[in-house]
Amino acid sequence: MTAPERRLVVSADDFGASPEINHAVALAHRNGILTACGLMVAAPCAREAVQIAQTMPSLDVGLHLTLSDGRPCLPRSELSHFSGADGRFPSSATAVAIRLSLDGRARAQCAAEIEAQFSAFEATRLLRTHWDGHQHIHLHPFAWRTATRHALAAGCRWVRLPNEPWRPTSMQGFALRRTEHVLLRAMARWARTDAARTGLRVADHVFGQVESGRMTERSWLGLLAALPQGVTEVYCHPGSIYELRQRRFASGDGSELEALLSTRVRQAMNAAGARLVSFGMADAEQGAGGTR
């Protein structure tokens, strides 16, 4: 089979984090261009998210591994060196990375939590094709090696590795965003080599990190005008508080959810010769399906 030159996976993060995000994901899949999402299995509205996904079998749901800025699957008593006194993870991936680098007990507890999240994801019995990490924490070497073993065992063949060029549309928080971009690209290059060794699959191109929270219609139209060949993943955060907080920097061109529902975006996608696919569809076209 000869695949189209441009295949586009459109993914939403933080599925299960809130009713607003769950509603946005469902709406963007039913009426827009969203084809995939990442489930936070221990999030407050994860059960509702799974119920929604069960009514939409064409929505490709993956594991959004959460080790920062969220709550764990395991109880506080089993994460005394990894979670805070309130039972939640540290708010930033940087804090988690430091903890994993310095504390062997934290690494052991982190490994147990990763296993618990993959087990919870398998228990949903949703089609398992992909995984990634909240705040890209899966790119930390320890988290990566641990999660990779479970992902391969679960049949989650696709993993997100950000590799987009630096093309911001806003200068807000420029220095911090630029530093994060450089570090993530360096870590992703290392992970890409390891993914090839272990048999994990990665998209040819990934967009969403540079304009995180700002994947508005304007951002989409600019991206689609120069969409590269191959399999491209574009990820976003429709319905999230983070997105709403960032809208004031978006020059009044709407929200991320509105962009996923936009007629102009769909027309631009068609003009670019791109075909919407999920990770499962991309696998099926090459003879490898996901796992239930």
Confidence of residue 240 (pLDDT cuts 50, 70, 90): confident
Region label for 155, one of left (φ > 0), alpha (ψ between -120 and 50) or beta (otherwise): left
Rg of the chain over all Cα atoms, to the nearest angstrom: 18
As a whole number of angstroms, the distance between CA 237 and CA 126 comes to: 21
Domains along the sequence of the chain with CATH:
6-284 (3.20.20.370)
Each residue of 89-116: pLDDT tens digit? Answer: 999 999 999 999 999 999 999 999 999 9
Mean pLDDT of 248-255: 52
Q: Write down the pLDDT at residue 283.
A: 74
**pTM as predicted:** 0.89
Q: Which residues pair with 131 in a beta bridge?
A: 63, 159
Confidence of residue 264 (pLDDT cuts 50, 70, 90): very high
Q: What integer best gives the mean pLDDT of the chain?
A: 89
